[in-house]
Chain A
């Protein structure tokens, strides 16, 4: 279980994450939702053990996150993080050196599904291809927790279906998947729970099928209720 307890991050005069308490359980796919700047990325980076909280803590199976938990938590950030001289093959090797749970077979399988070729250079990739490569290399790890920050950004409609299929393929009872996005409709069917974040604070964490059944409300409807006039589904 991944637990965030009163987690807070302050950057100067800005409180990016404000006392967020949240438990993520294995066997679920969570959609973390909120407009840009609501604190999703900062929360994920703290949960991945990459930045330190100002106060509060994150526990993975009862232990504070850090070097040990990074072996079980696969995190995909929004920033590009490959050297431009690398080929896709190099990217795979680079990951294999870093992560024991990285599977080259799985990586090749994912590349095939995403229609990427090993000899392609990362600097020549389109933004959509780069986005797919980031997902392939992250999902090729046999981790317990996958946190993908904006996996659908910059990806065209058809490729989104491929990505959804890849993500679903690896969802399992012993795994936690957390996907952040401001493309709410993309996550409607693949997530079972939604975490709504507004101005750094947790608004709620809800079971989507229960919400549909009891209130006849979709995740996108709930999003509109919470964030008011914020546009839904615009691509950054």
Chain B
């Protein structure tokens, strides 16, 4: 994974794991790699990897079971809420971009419907 090194790396890795969960690449209840393994997979500092899991846990998307590791939550509502949030973000980004090209929301919406 290529990082934007002007943004916190933990945020970028967290985003990558989030999208793997909402797109179903990782399924509810699936065990995630250990902290060190995560560091090696992404080529990131182990402290950064630990931070990723702390934040994922805080958001409720993952849970750590003592002595067993970190797992994707089985709470479908939590995953659906994140998916909705990520979708809203993507839409907002699109509207901003379209706006900067001088399109109104309505024009942008029309273009989406016309697009194959």
Residues of A near any B CB (own CB < 8 A): 27-29, 161, 164-165, 168-169, 171-172, 185, 188-192, 209, 212-213, 216-221
Contact = CB atoms under 8 A, between A and B. Distances in A.
Contacts of A29: 45-47
A161 B1 CA distance: 12
B97 interface: no
A209 B43 contact: no
Interface string B19-51: 000000000000000001001101111111001
A28 B5 CA distance: 19
B6 A216 contact: yes
A141 B35 CA distance: 22
Nearest to B39: A168
B85 to A, nearest CB: 20
A188 B1 CA distance: 13
B46 A189 contact: no
Nearest first, the 6 closest Cβ-Cβ pairs linking A and B are A218-B5, A192-B45, A188-B5, A218-B6, A212-B8, A213-B8
Contact of A190 (B7, B10, B45): B45
Contact of A189 (B6, B9, B36, B51): B9
Contacts of A161: 43
Nearest to A161: B43
A169 B39 CA distance: 8
Contacts of A190: 43-45
B7 A188 contact: no
A211 to B, nearest CB: 9
Contacts of B42: 189
A79 to B, nearest CB: 28
Contacts of A164: 43
B5 A171 contact: no
A209 B48 contact: yes
A189 B7 contact: no
A229 B115 CA distance: 47
Interface in B4-18: 5-10
Interface string B45-60: 1111001000000000
Contacts of A189: 3, 5, 9, 42-45, 48
A26 B79 CA distance: 37
B40 A209 contact: no
A171 B9 contact: no
Contacts of A28: 47
Contacts of B40: 165, 168-169
A28 B50 CA distance: 12
Nearest to B11: A213
Contacts of B5: 185, 188-189, 212, 218-220
A27 B39 CA distance: 14
B9 A212 contact: yes
